[in-house]
Chain A
C-alpha cells in the first residue's frame, strides 16, 4: 500500500464500527453458521410441530412448556421461529444466487465488451432503478399473486441489475490496470482474459456485495411477507410471524418482538460479515 493511501485510510476507517475487522468477520460468521445449523436441524431442535394448533393455550407468555410462549392459534413460537429460519434464509439465498448467476456475467460482459451489450444491460438497470426500491417487487407480486416464490423472484429481479452494475463498475476499474493490456498483447482471447484474469479479481468485491445483499434481501422478503405478499400463513417464516403478531399486538407483543429480533440479528450478522469483507478488500488493494 502506498504512503498516500495509508494517510487517507484511518480517517475513513474511524467511521466504521469500532470493531477490528476480524471481530466482525467472526461474530457475523458465527451467527450465520448458527442460523444455518438451526435451519438444517429444525426438526431435531424444535420442541413442537410449528403448525400444531392448541386453542387452550393461545397467546401464552414464556413458560417451561413454551419457552417463547404461543401465538394466537396456540402454536409454539420457538418452534415456528426455528422452522421459520428455513424459508427466511432460503429466500435471500435464492435472490443472491440468481442475482450473481444472471447479474455478474451480464455486468462482466457489459463492462468488458462495452458496446451494445453494455447499453442493453445498463438501460435495463436504469429502468429497474427508476422505481422506488420494493415498489417494483410489490407490483410484480400484484401481477402474479402473493407467495414465497413470487416474492423471491420479484426481489431477485430488483437485485440482478444491482449486482450487474456493481460487477460492471469493478470490471471497468480492473480493466484500467496494466495487466489486462498485457494479456491482450500476449494474444489471449477476450474470453480468456475476462474469465481467467479479470473475474478472479472481481470475485472478492462480488462476494462482499453478495453478503451485504443477503441481509438486504432478507429484510425485503420479510417485509413483503409482513405485508402479506410473501410467505403465506400458516407456513412458518419470520416475516409471516411479524404479520401474524401484528394482528394480535394489543393482546401480546411476544411474537412480533421475537420475530423482529430474529430479523435484526440476522441482518446485523450479514452486515458485519459483509463490512469486514469490504474492509479486508480495501486493505489488500
Chain B
C-alpha cells in the first residue's frame, strides 16, 4: 500500500531533470526560487507530454480520422472535405498537434459533435457542479480524515485507536462508487432523506443534493488520509523534541499544535496530492451514479458518443488540475519545512 502510494504520485524523476535545468538558469541562486522554478518546469513538462498523449490517442483510433470526426453524420464528400479543412488533416501530425495546442492555450478546445457547441462552453456549463462536489468532498475528507488520524495517534494503543483503525480498514476497502451506491440505496431510496438524482437548483438545495455524493466520494479518501495522519503523527510523537517541549513545561495542546502537527504535515500533504487524483477519478464514477451534471458524467457521455473533442478537453483539464495541485503541494513543502527551502533535504 505504501509503495503504491509512493509510486503513484506524479512527478518523480522528472523533477530531477527539471532541477538540473533550473540550476543552470541565470534566475537566482536563492534555493527557494530555484526550488520553485524547478518544480514549475517539471509540471509544465509533464503537462506538455500528457497533452501529446491525449492528442495522439485520438489519431490511434480505429478508422480514419475523418470517420472519427464525422461521429455518425452521413459521409458526404462536402462534409469530409470540410472536416479535412477544419482539422488540417492534410497537414503533418505535429502541425495538427501544434494547432490544437495553441487553440487550447487560447481556450479553444474545438467543437463538440453532440452538443453542437464549443467544447469550452460545454465544459464551462458543467464545471461548476464538479468543482463544488470536489471542494465539498475534499473538505469532508480533510476535516474527518485528519481528525480521525490525529485522535487515533494521540490515543495510540487504546480503545479509541482500535475503533478508528478498524473503521479505517473497513472504509479503505470500499471504493468510491460502491460507497456511492450503498449510500444511495440507504439514504436515497430506502430512507428518502436525500435526493437520488440531479444537482439541485442553488444555495442550500444544491448543498443538499451534493451532500450524499460528496460523502460517497470522501469515504475511501478519508481512510487514506486518516491512515497517513495516524502514522505520521504517531511517528512525530516518538521524536525526541516532543520530550524537550514537555520538559519545558509547555501544554500538551501547544505541543501538538505548534510542534507535532506541523512536523507531521509533509506525508499528509504528499498523500493529499494523490488523493486529488482519486478525487478526480472518483468524481467521474460518483457523478455518474448520482446523475450529477458535472464534468465526470460529461466525460462518460462523450466517450459513449465518441465526441473526441470533449473527451480531450475534459481529460486535459482533469490532468492539468491534478498536476497543478501537486505542484502547489510541492511548493507547500518548502513553506512547511525549512529544510526543503534551504536545500538541506531533497523533497
Contact = CB atoms under 8 A, between A and B. Distances in A.
The answer to A–B direct touch (Cβ < 8 A) is yes
B66 interface: no
Interface residues on A, range: 35 or more
B184 A249 contact: yes
- For the residues of B in contact with A, the DSSP-based class is helix
B61 A264 contact: no
Nearest to B300: A227
B132 interface: no
A14 B11 contact: no
A253 B189 contact: yes
B338 interface: no
Interface stretch (B90-98, B175-183, B204-212, B256-264): B175-183
Nearest to B184: A249
Given A130-B322, A226-B285, A138 B4 contact: no
With a 10 A CB-CB cut-off, give which of A141, A229, A249 has the most chain B CB atoms. A249
Contacts of B53: 127, 136
A126 B13 contact: yes
Interface residues of B, number: 71
B278 interface: yes
B118 interface: no
A139 B10 contact: no
Given A226-B288, A253-B185, A142 B308 contact: yes
With a 10 A CB-CB cut-off, give which of A119, A139, A271 has the most chain B CB atoms. A139
A112 B127 CA distance: 46
Contacts of A246: 181, 289
B12 interface: yes
A144 interface: yes
Interface stretch (A59-67, A69-77, A86-94, A255-263): A255-263
B318 A132 contact: yes
B223 to A, nearest CB: 11
Contacts, number: 174
B215 interface: no
Contacts of A134: 281, 284
Interface stretch (A33-41, A161-169, A176-184): A161-169
A129 B166 CA distance: 30
A111 B214 CA distance: 41
Contacts of A162: 4, 7-8
Contact of B165 (A15, A122, A126): A15
- For the residues of A in contact with B, the DSSP-based class is helix
B13 A256 contact: no
A260 B322 CA distance: 28
Given A130-B322, A134-B284, A139-B311, A144 B62 contact: yes
Interface of A: 11-12, 14-18, 119, 122-123, 125-127, 129-136, 138-146, 161-162, 165-166, 169, 209, 212, 216, 219, 223, 226-229, 242, 246, 249-250, 253, 256-257, 260, 263-264, 267-268, 271, 275, 278
| Pairs of residues from A and B, 9 with the lowest C-beta to C-beta distance, nearest first | A134-B281, A132-B280, A132-B277, A142-B303, A165-B7, A143-B57, A130-B10, A268-B173, A130-B46
Given A139-B57, A166-B3, 20 more contacts: A14-B156, A17-B169, A18-B162, A126-B13, A126-B14, A127-B50, A129-B9, A131-B50, A132-B318, A135-B315, A138-B300, A138-B303, A142-B57, A169-B6, A226-B285, A226-B288, A227-B300, A249-B189, A260-B182, A264-B178
Interface of B: 1, 3-4, 6-14, 46-47, 49-50, 53-54, 57-58, 60-62, 152, 156-157, 161-162, 165-166, 169, 172-175, 177-178, 181-182, 184-185, 189-190, 196, 227, 230-231, 234, 238, 276-278, 280-281, 284-285, 288-289, 299-300, 302-304, 306, 308, 311, 315, 318-319, 322-323
